[in-house]
Structure 1
Amino acid sequence: MLFIAAALLTASMHSLGVVEATAVPTSTDARVAASAPMRHAPPEIAPGPAVDALAAASGQAWLDVLAAAPPTVLRAADSDARVTATAMDDPPSSTLVTAWWAALTPASRTVLTDDAPVVVGNLDGVPFDVRDAANRAVLTSRLADPQASTALTAMLGQVQESLAQEPGDPRKYLVTLDTRGSGRCAISVGDIGTAGHVSVVVPGIFFTVNGQMADFTATAGDVYREQATLAPVAAPADGAGVAVLAWMGYRTPGISDFMSLDLAHLGADRLVRTLDGIRSVRTGHEPRLGVVAHSYGSTTAMIALSSGRVSVDSLTMLGSPGSSVTTADQLAVTPGEVYVGGAHWDPVAGTGFFGTDPGLAAFGAARLDLLATDDPDGRGDVFRQPFGHNDYLKPGTASLHDVALIAVGRGDLVRGEHREGDGPDGGVVQATPDMYLVRPQDLQPRD
């Protein structure tokens, strides 16, 4: 049944132009990185013994060699697929990186940021304003490269559009920019380095940097604005304001591989590093840190938070197809702060396709009131209920409001579902193949 829903979903997205054509990635990101145009390393600079030594190092030794390298070596290293792969795929722990960066002189930090922006911009544990500056420099340089491929230019164009600022908008930070293969990107709306409440939004299947980054960042902006309106009732936090990270930090599945958990496991590793990086940079004044995960992203988030490697203050799952996690107690989340919601006519929520459905009562999550349609208690609700698989974070929905309340530490104000009983399906509406599985309007680009 999930296959039917996915097939209809991807067909609708292509017919509406939501998914744009992207280049087919090679089998490894590193191979693509080796051929992609880079900002630095002109032809006359060939990777020499110093770059080879950096490429062979790992952990603290890698950081030490990086800090000692002169600008010419840094420029060559920043174009070496082996070195950039270490920064993006197998970096030193964010705790090591944070301590290393703090010990550098201001002059050394400037040299690293200017001459190795790909490395610095994607290294968890480096301050977010520094990563933003480095990644923006790479974005500008590659957009100006006349030899850039059409696919790369389209991807970078989406990132550039995502960073556009309107008067009065919160500042945006380009936290991750990986142009290998189909790309990875993360953009923060608001300052993760100072905000008291930080949310990381994890997408599900069919999301690509080339196709949806601008829309996904706009969604993060909607979450930000909803949270900001709750400032008068927000729980105390160590920091001022809110920040929402549009985290397209892993390659999400397409129609050919959405039934596999391989990308969820890879994404979980990257999500762990991202969350740990936020905590490391904020050591001593950590924010309230929450994850908002949609669809396949919830499976990815549960794998990450059951790994024992990182913890968060809240987890909100929307339209989840489940995971191997059987109870909320297995997740490194503050007790009582795991939430799950399933909307009307969502063909994915409640399926338990990848294991246990977190919407089941036995799972132990707090279930959001997303199924009521006619205000049965006569309370005059001002928020509409979400409908379909892609409606959860749209302005005006009860689900967006609940997500915002949870993020600012006021999950106590979120209502539970209206239910006459908890059957084996946990009360989630189950779709059948002959139903309207997904409405076309659920998939349209933003107004």
Structure 2
Amino acid sequence: MLLLAAALLTASMHSLGVVESPVAPAASSAVAVSTAAVVHDTGQTAAPVMTGGQIGIGDLRSDRGRAFLDDLATASPAVLATADRDDRVVATAMDAPPTAAEVTTWWSGLDAAEQVRLLHGAPVVVGNLDGVPYAVRDRANRAVLAAESADRRTLSGEAAMLGQVRESLVRDADGPRKSLITLDTRGSGRAAIALGDLATAADVTVVVPGMFFTVTGQMVDFTATAGDLYDEQATLSPVAAPAPGTGIAVVAWMGYRTPDLSNILSLDLAKTGAGRLERTVDGIRQIRDGAEPRLGIVAHSYGSTTALMALSSGRMHADSLTVLGSPGSDVTSASELAVAAGEVFVGGAHWDPIAGSGYFGTDPGAADFGSTVLDLAGGIDPADADDVFRRPVGHNDYLKPGTASLHDVALIAVGRGDLVRDQVQRGNGRGEGTVRASPDMFLVRPQDLQPRD
């Protein structure tokens, strides 16, 4: 067990980043607070006291579900400003929110002036509610990002986190649009950046990271990886299967706290992350009601454990699931997953000590699991004799440009998993599938541990 724990630590470590405090500090927002609020000598904003049946901060602290939304919509500017800085209110919005269906119905029932008032009055809350249109969430979260970045009171750790998010949002001249759809600066932070238009894309892919990924340490690299997948999917669009919408969207979803040295062997964070992933996917579907995109999950390492939990919960479904370098989960068969028939794929790179380890339960690449095990040995694309792919090596090589794994993942994402299954069945000169974990840690080269080339 200690040997495998060492493998998990060594093979997954891009950068330790920051270790999240056991108690998350109060949510902060530098967005201006209404002058109706009272400021004491300490500099803290006191909760406005409401009388005569008006909504007060106490109502929002105790509200849940639709009541939370309705009270938010009728709160005064002073209460909104206080709510956006109140850790209990922010925790409701981010950790135990109303359902995406409730939010979608509520938001669409507001007039334009009410929507603008909420956007400007409570951007921390509005920017993180699944079911609010993504263009609105992007505006809200960017406003918070700008305000907190400019606030001289921002601590150095949070400033570094915000810097990573800002850099991740820089758009190449010929690159896709980027939207900041999640921004949570509590503790070690959470963020999600969409490349492409989630409101119109035919194919939406959510990429879920593994352990030791933090916003402060890896958001730039992780967003760039999502961009590589976006580019690969774009090149394959001529062979894409038909789906509602047009274009592609890929979400760099750092939407849960991943394990660090203090909890590397625990599944608690995977369980919490599964719930967050369920809400994210539900939000995408609710926004696209009546014209849902083809939705795929691509999950790496501990993220695969998280995704397998979510897809076996009965609260989330996907058109495809691709897990890479998986340490397993308590799911014992693909039939337990709410994924389209034949659309569960598993990749294990050469010299990846985590893939096939079954450390957290059943290996999804096992013969009796019912998945398609990707053939990642490299070789020539049968559809294009000039397209040569290299074999991914180590635990962190799967989504790098030029790899057979990136090409296969992109094919699956655009609805052409049939091409991937065909090449696996034919053998195609590309090897014999997953290479099982080796206990020899010297097989993991230092360059395999780097986030990007």
Residue aligning to 2:183: 177
Q: How many residues align?
A: 431
Residue aligning to 2:255: 249
Cα distance in structure 1, aligned partners of 2:343 and 2:29: 44
Cα distance in structure 1, aligned partners of 2:156 and 2:426: 50
- Which letter does structure 2 place at the counterpart of 1:48? P
Instruction: Please report how far the alpha carbon of residue 43 of structure 1 lies from its aligned counterpart in structure 2 after TM superposition.
Output: 5.8
Mapped pair 1:4 → 2:24: no
Cα distance in structure 2, aligned partners of 1:417 and 1:360: 16
Instruction: Please report how far the alpha carbon of residue 256 of structure 1 lies from its aligned counterpart in structure 2 after TM superposition.
Output: 2.4
Among candidates 382, 389, 396, match of residue 390 of structure 1 = 396
Among candidates 32, 55, 59, match of residue 53 of structure 1 = 59
Among candidates 244, 261, 264, match of residue 258 of structure 1 = 264
SS at match of 1:255: coil
Would the aligned equivalents of 1:51 and 1:73 in 2 still touch at CA under 8 Å?
yes
Among candidates 11, 28, 33, match of residue 26 of structure 2 = 33
Cα distance in structure 1, aligned partners of 2:67 and 2:29: 28
Residue aligning to 2:373: 367
Would the aligned equivalents of 1:40 and 1:79 in 2 still touch at CA under 8 Å?
no
Instruction: Please report how far the alpha carbon of residue 204 of structure 1 lies from its aligned counterpart in structure 2 after TM superposition.
Output: 0.3
Would the aligned equivalents of 1:37 and 1:148 in 2 still touch at CA under 8 Å?
no
1:361–1:433 Cα change, 3 Å: closer
Residue aligning to 2:245: 239
- Which letter does structure 2 place at the counterpart of 1:368? L
Cα distance in structure 2, aligned partners of 1:209 and 1:322: 24
Residue aligning to 2:42: none
What are the Cα deviations for residues 3-36 of structure 1, in whole angstroms up to 9, with x where unaligned?
A: 12134346x74xxxx444x3x433233xx125x4
Identity over aligned pairs, percent: 61
Would the aligned equivalents of 2:301 and 2:354 in 1 still touch at CA under 8 Å?
yes
What are the Cα deviations for residues 140-168 of structure 1, in whole angstroms up to 9, with x where unaligned?
A: 00000001100000000000000001111
Among candidates 99, 117, 138, match of residue 132 of structure 1 = 138
Residue aligning to 2:53: none
Residue aligning to 1:423: none
Would the aligned equivalents of 1:172 and 1:190 in 2 still touch at CA under 8 Å?
yes
Instruction: Please report how far the alpha carbon of residue 445 of structure 1 lies from its aligned counterpart in structure 2 after TM superposition.
Output: 4.4
Cα RMSD (Å):
2.2
Residue aligning to 1:323: 329
1:373–1:410 Cα change, 3 Å: closer
- Which letter does structure 1 place at the counterpart of 2:327? P
Instruction: Please report how far the alpha carbon of residue 69 of structure 1 lies from its aligned counterpart in structure 2 after TM superposition.
Output: 1.1
Would the aligned equivalents of 2:378 and 2:389 in 1 still touch at CA under 8 Å?
no
1:361–1:432 Cα change, 3 Å: closer
- Which letter does structure 2 place at the counterpart of 1:299? T
Would the aligned equivalents of 2:348 and 2:433 in 1 still touch at CA under 8 Å?
no
TM-score by length of 1: 0.92
Task: Name stretches of at least 5 consecutive residues in structure 1 with no aligned partner.
Answer: 420-425
Instruction: Please report how far the alpha carbon of residue 107 of structure 1 lies from its aligned counterpart in structure 2 after TM superposition.
Output: 0.3
TM-score by length of 2: 0.91
SS at match of 2:368: helix
Instruction: Please report how far the alpha carbon of residue 434 of structure 1 lies from its aligned counterpart in structure 2 after TM superposition.
Output: 2.9
SS at match of 1:33: coil
Task: Name stretches of at least 5 consecutive residues in structure 2 with no aligned partner.
Answer: 40-44, 50-55
SS at match of 2:26: helix
Instruction: Please report how far the alpha carbon of residue 48 of structure 1 lies from its aligned counterpart in structure 2 after TM superposition.
Output: 3.1
Cα distance in structure 1, aligned partners of 2:77 and 2:261: 44
- Which letter does structure 2 place at the counterpart of 1:169? G
Residue aligning to 1:422: none
Instruction: Please report how far the alpha carbon of residue 285 of structure 1 lies from its aligned counterpart in structure 2 after TM superposition.
Output: 1.0
Cα distance in structure 2, aligned partners of 1:2 and 1:275: 32
1:139–1:92 Cα change, 3 Å: same
